Amino acid sequence: MKKRIVITGIGVVSPIGTGNNEFTESLRNGKSGISAIEHFDVSNFSSKISGYIKDFKPENFIDRKKTKRMARFTQLGMAAAKIAIEDSGLDFSKEDMSRIGVVTGTGMGGLDVIEEEEKTLLEKGAKRVSPFLIPMIITNMLPGEIAIQYGFTGPNYAVTSACASANHAMGDALRILRFGDADIIVSGGAEGVITPLGLAGFCNMKAVSQRNDEPQKASRPFDKNRDGFVMGEGAGIIIFETLEHALNRGAKIYAELAGYGASDDAYHMTAPDPKGAAAILAMEKAIADAGISKEEVDYINAHGTSTGLNDKTETAAIKKVFGERAYKIPISSTKSMTGHLLGAAAGVELAAVVLSMNAGFIHPTINYETPDPECDLDYVPNIARDAQINCALSNSLGFGGHNATTIVKKYVE
């Protein structure tokens, strides 16, 4: 018998809201968090829009002195972790801290710090480069900082697998808890790389939307006129516990993390395998791991990036897994509102699934205006739908062909 693993705390920092209540209401209202980039000059960039969190103040969550020694992804992740831990109601005076671990995902780490310190190196010389450069940019610094802040001495590391990072991290959390190496794992993802270098790289790949005159309509997953994803940033951190531990402390339980599956396309650096074989495999593995039938899945949170290749490939993969029933399963893309949060995406998206599940609705895929014959499923277009979701599947499909799928169920005693 596999140990049952449940979700007892959620923390979100996103382009459509910081904190669970604001984020949930934005999901319900189909709010877009995409706007023109103002924090650096984008006059020479083909894409001039993003899901940058303009009102984020790290000092509201972290000691001001410490924020100066953190890259933006760490600041965002620390803020989301604080929200999640407070939401969980954990009393650490009653916990064995060696039984609490942290596993988080990020795709690119401290790119903002790399750019700043490279400029310093070129303009002022090597001796002026910050001694904190290395610990600020490495991807494992977020779980390290969370452990330092709270005193967690259990398993602690980072996962980096592009856009699938957070789903892989949460899948690892599931397995660590099942195996008995911890009672609690703080997991999810964070990303903060809306910088000149990051944007230039995606622009020159021709991966991002150039709908600069209509920022809020630029991210349009599954729409025929989609022209690329929109860079976003943020963090989604979730508290996972063994059911036994959660019940013993009288925790509120949001949902059960029931299954996880992972695979790789082994096809191309950035393009998905058009056959979707490995994406299919990840979903099949997650369903088998959860010990459920395909008929039990009644909602899918799609990777849904708003790129031509991803959306039609993911649609085809869903059809292959669920057959004719695929047409009856509501599907939505959180990225239509937040943009693509890269390594943080799956953490924020699983939070979206669980929060909307508990609030009794399915959030929409906004900006769905012109149907695409190759994307012909029920994408919950534009308006939220009241619904009771009992079992949801969440996909992440990353550069390098990395695929990861998680499954959450409504908690039943």
Which residues are CB-neighbours of 231 under 8 A, at least 6 positions away? 47, 50, 51, 193, 194, 198, 199, 202, 208, 339, 340, 342
Catalytic residue at 402? no
Catalytic residue at 363? no
Secondary structure (3-state) at 117: helix
CB contact at 8 A, 292 and 262: no
| CA pair distance 246, 76, nearest whole angstrom | 26
Angle of CA points 327, 387, 88, to nearest 5°? 120
| CA pair distance 409, 393, nearest whole angstrom | 9
Identify the active-site residue in 168, 203, 245, 303.
Answer: 303
Q: Is 93 exposed, middle or buried (0-12, 13-18, 19+ CB in 10 A)?
A: exposed
Identify the active-site residue in 168, 340, 363, 402.
Answer: 340
Catalytic residue at 163? yes
- The number of beta carbons lying within 10 Å of the beta carbon of residue 148 is 12
| CA pair distance 147, 155, nearest whole angstrom | 10
Query: Beta 156-159 vs 100-105: how paired, if at all?
Result: parallel
CB contact at 8 A, 208 and 228: yes
Secondary structure (3-state) at 37: coil
CB contact at 8 A, 73 and 345: no
Tokens of 389: 């979701």
Here the contacts of 156-161 (C-beta below 8 Å, separation 24 or greater) are: 156/101, 156/102, 156/103, 157/103, 158/103, 158/104, 158/105, 158/106, 159/103, 159/104, 159/105, 160/105, 160/106, 160/107, 160/109, 160/343, 161/105, 161/107, 161/343, 161/398, 161/400, 161/402, 161/404
Residue by residue, DSSP assigns 349-385 as HHHHHHHHHHHTEE--BTT--SBBTTB-S---BSS-E
Active-site annotation, residues: 163, 303, 340
